[in-house]
Amino acid sequence: MRIDCQSHVFPAEYAELLARNPRPPQAIPQGDGYIITYGEVQKFLLRQEVYDIDRKIRDMDAAEVDVSILSVNMPGPERLIPELRVAGAKTCNDFLAEVIQKHPGRFAGLACLPWQDVPEALAEIDRAVDDLGLCGIILYSHIEGDHVDAPAYEPIYQRAEAREMPIVLHPTVPTWGEYIKDYSMIPMVGLMVDHSFAMLRLILSGVLERHPDLQVVQPHAGGVLPYLWGRIKNQTEVMGRGVENITQPPSVYYQRVYLDTVSPSALAMRFAYDFAGPDRLLFGSDHPWVDIRNFIELIEEMDISQENKARIFGLNAQRLFKIG
């Protein structure tokens, strides 16, 4: 079985809410889609045809993908003004549930949350599990400027752990994007760096220690963290820096984290495999931004056993997200 763990959608109803947001990020109608603007820092063109579910199914079939785990493309509803956040999360989650229901066995979904409205976020987790049948939660690398390890969000991690809902830590445009807005450096590098900072905060703040059964996925082959892990290990274990909130080496917590294959480089994918091992690497494509077949070819070309390829392609995701 092939399960694509990173596949994006963008509901038109959610775009309409973003269009009503009085401050960036906003959706500005253009042609058959929208310009998603973060002020003068970053702009993305989202054509609705690219997010067409029938087209996604055709692309899945061409790549022999059985199931795609859908998530709403950034920005998440936590970036909306307070009056729109809950509606934004519910709109996204209802859309995912509708797609899953219309196409049995082909899709699963990651719930969006109105993170700053903690009681509403807790209720939405329960609704996602009990009523909508979603299989995880998407968390962007900052919450409207708040760090992901802010104490206010502790009840959300506790509820996610209790409901066995994995957290998928996806990048978003960083708060410091102004400094790297030239030459498209935000999508090239900035997103990967920002969600690496966020992952490190979840570890060093003690969130993962306090929630030993909380499952976390860091997409994009772990961003930059695997490549810098030797330095992180030296700074924390030898120099004793940044470890005041944890009782074990950071590696102990990071060994629980899953990575996905969304890094279009054979060298990077091999390093992710060597770093994470066959049981913590998930097949993902970042569709529709990337052709799904690109990553299938990279995995198939790896000099590893068919058993370990099967783990990456689907068995790990089946276990983690309870699919099938």
Q: Provide the residue type at 259 as one letter.
A: L
Q: What does pLDDT average to over the chain?
A: 97
Domains of the chain: 3-321 (3.20.20.140)
SS3 for 151-194, per residue? HHHHHHHHHHHHCCCCEEEECCCCCCHHHHCHHHHHHHHHHHHH
pLDDT at 48: 79
pLDDT at residue 46, rounded to an integer? 86
Instruction: Determine contact, residues 128/156, Cβ cutoff 8 Å.
Output: no
Give mean pLDDT, residues 195-211.
99
Here the tokens at position 315 are 């068995």
Indicate the residue type of 318.
Q
Q: Is the pLDDT of residue 50 over 80?
A: no
Q: Give the CB-side neighbour count of residue 208, counting CA atoms within 13 A.
A: 25
pLDDT at 310: 99
Strand order, beta sheet including 33-37? 26-30, 33-37, 43-47
pLDDT reading at 31 higher than 90: no
The length of the chain in residues reads: 324
The model's pLDDT over 235-252, given as tens digits with 9 standing for 90+, comes to: 999 999 999 999 999 999
DSSP string for residues in 62-79:
HTT--EEEEEEPSSPGGG
Task: Evaluate if residue 294 carries a pLDDT over 80.
Answer: yes
Question: Is residue 49 scored above 80 in pLDDT?
Answer: no
Phi and psi dihedrals of 3, rounded to 5? Answer: -120, 115
Cα–Cα distance, 193 to 127 (Å, whole number): 32
Residue 79, pLDDT > 90, answer yes
Model confidence pLDDT, tens digit, residues 52-62: 999 999 999 99
Q: What is the mean pLDDT of residues 110-127?
A: 99
Measured CA to CA in angstroms, residue 312 lies from 1, 76, 172, 277, 299 at distances of 10, 27, 25, 10, 8
Determine contact, residues 141/171, Cβ cutoff 8 Å: yes
Between CA 311 and CA 28 the distance in angstroms is 41
Return the beta strands (E) in the chain as ranges.
3-9, 26-30, 33-37, 43-47, 67-72, 107-111, 136-140, 167-170, 216-218, 258-260, 281-282
Q: Say what the pTM is.
A: 0.96
Each residue's pLDDT tens digit, 162-186: 999 999 999 999 999 999 999 999 9
Q: Report the alpha-carbon distance of residue 48 to residue 58 in Å, rounded.
A: 16
Q: Which is more confident, 294 or 48?
A: 294
**What was the pLDDT predicted at 324?**
80
Collapsed DSSP state (helix, strand, coil) of residue 45: strand
As a whole number, mean pLDDT of residues 259-268 equals 96
